[in-house]
């Protein structure tokens, strides 16, 4: 277990929100950190996707139809089988966010769907 020391003002604010119950404070902090980590992983994958898109033509020439693993903007591995690639990358980097994506003949297109809205008839 790792101990984290919070700035006094932050600790006080958390205690004010959760009360003095240690279990409530612990749950609050864990939930906040998990939410932050989810957001951070999404940002990393978004950045890796941008790197994939920027390198698309080179990837298509070098790894057509294969899956590539993009980490810190670079291809770190590739394979024709997604599961095999995933296992190798997981063994190397554990739970570090890495983009695993197939290099297809055409780049993905972003589709935007507009939500319908209701209007009252007059």
pLDDT at 53: 94
pLDDT at 118: 67
**How far out from the chain centre does Cα 5 lie?**
26
The residue among 32 and 109 whose pLDDT is bigger is: 32
In order of 27, 39, 58, 59, the CA distances from 54 in angstroms are 41, 23, 9, 10
Q: Taking 70 as the threshold, does the pLDDT of residue 8 lie above it?
A: yes
The domain segmentation of the chain, as residue ranges, is 9-102
Kindly report whether the global pTM for this prediction surpasses the value 0.85.
no
**Which of 96, 95, 100 has the alpha carbon at shortest distance from 63?**
100
Q: What percent of the chain has pLDDT over 70?
A: 88
In whole angstroms, what is the distance from residue 14 CA to residue 54 CA?
A: 42
């Amino acid at each position: 277990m790792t101990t984290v020391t919070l700035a006094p003002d932050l600790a006080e604010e958390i205690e004010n929100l959760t009360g003095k119950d240690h279990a409530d404070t612990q749950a609050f902090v864990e939930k906040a950190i998990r939410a932050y980590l989810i957001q951070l992983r999404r940002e990393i994958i978004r950045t890796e996707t941008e790197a994939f898109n920027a390198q698309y033509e080179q990837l298509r020439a070098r790894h057509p139809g294969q899956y590539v693993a993009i980490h810190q903007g670079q291809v770190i591995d590739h394979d024709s089988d997604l599961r095999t690639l995933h296992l190798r990358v997981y063994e190397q980097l554990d739970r570090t966010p890495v983009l695993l994506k197939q290099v297809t003949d055409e780049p993905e297109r972003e589709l935007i769907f507009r939500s319908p809205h209701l209007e009252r008839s007059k």
